[in-house]
Amino acid sequence: MPAALRCCVIGATGEWYRQVHHPSLERLVRAGRVTLAAASSRSESGRELVRSMGFARSCADAGEMLDRERPDYAVLCMAPRPMAELAGLVLERRVPLFMEKPAGHDLAAGRALAAVAERAGMSCMVAYNRRHCPLLVRAKELLAGRAVSQAVCEFLRNDVSAPARMLGSALHSVDALRFLLGEVAEFRGLGSAARYFDGKMVAASFCLGFAGGAAGSFTFNVRAGRSHERYRLFAGNWTVSVSLPPPGRFDDAWRLEVEEGGRVVESLSAADLPEERRCAGYAHGFWREHEHFVECLERSVRPEPGIAEGLASMELAQAMLEAVAPAEQLAR
């Protein structure tokens, strides 16, 4: 087995890192593949917290931490604006980077960061976890060799605040459609007249035309009174349906079903998983995306999706949003 990779974390005190990314890293630590070298926090209480989380050392300054530790890679998880700036700091030191999405608080920041990553020539990965979700990975396998006629995606959230709009969490569904079916060649959209408390749109529907010839639709609504994410993919007399609960949750909504000629020919649900996999970490692909990144570092190959690939999903989502709500910007 290769030597364990030394990992430094920036943003370890944040709730999303602690709920999602830290448990994924802990699995790799237990497997002997990663060691938690250090984490940075500007506050003393934050540094105490990261030490209690199993990091060997803590540091007040992220740059100083990277210079001192010279890690094999870094994990970065925080709000988009400071995250883009700190990603540049990591890449300038030629440290491979695993970062939360999006790779930039707007398209200009994302493009600038993609250019830095290209110059640095470092392995970088953006955490579009749907690409590592077992159900969507299986759906993509099932699509191989089939002439897909149509794709239907619904992204619904029961939210009272802004972060889950189309270019927040729903950006994951835009990226998942590209993962499943390739590039969107054209689209048309219609936005709802209903607005959030902050004046921004709450819902829109789009017709999509994929470069491979399939038609599709994408609907998002962030004041739906319920939360779910669904994909239906049609080919001939065949359909694969995937249903996902909101990230961070695992319940009976997690399901894949394949129908052909009016019969269910394959299914996978929460009840089919062994006990150790009945959790959000496995079900949403959080475990697997970290494993993928480490495997790529061990084999000296580029992980996917990189910053440029993640940027392509941001650009598509921005173009779709501008088509139905020209005044809105790419921001959480």
Least Cα distance to 205 among 253, 273, 156, 254 occurs for: 156
Residues 6+ apart with CB under 8 A from 68: 38, 59
Q: 255 falls in which pLDDT band (50, 70, 90)? A: very high
User: SS3 letters for 215-256?
Assistant: EEEEEEECEEEEEEEEEEEEECCEEEEEEECCCCCCCCCCEE
CATH number for the region 5-129+288-306 comes to: 3.40.50.720
- Judge contact between 250 and 270, C-beta under 8 A: yes
Tell me the average pLDDT across 246-251: 86
- Each as own residue / partner, the long-range contacts of residues 21-27 (CB below 8 Å, 24 or more positions apart, any chain) are 21/75, 21/77, 21/100, 21/127, 21/286, 21/290, 22/53, 23/281, 23/286, 24/281, 24/286, 24/287, 24/289, 24/290, 25/75, 25/290, 26/54, 27/281, 27/287, 27/290
Q: 161 falls in which pLDDT band (50, 70, 90)? A: low
pLDDT at 164: 44
pLDDT at 332: 40
pTM equals 0.93
Q: 163 falls in which pLDDT band (50, 70, 90)? A: very low
CATH superfamily of 130-283+313-324: Dihydrodipicolinate Reductase; domain 2 (3.30.360.10)
Locate the domains of the chain by residue range. Answer: 5-129+288-306, 130-283+313-324
**Which pLDDT tens digit goes with each residue over 39-90?**
999 999 999 999 999 999 999 999 999 999 999 999 999 888 888 889 999 9
**Which pLDDT tens digit goes with each residue over 137-147?**
999 999 999 99
**Which pLDDT tens digit goes with each residue over 90-116?**
999 999 999 999 888 888 888 999 999
pLDDT above 70 for 125: yes
Residue 331: helix, strand or coil by DSSP? coil
pLDDT at 7: 98
pLDDT above 60 for 256: yes
**Which pLDDT tens digit goes with each residue over 24-39?**
999 999 999 999 999 9
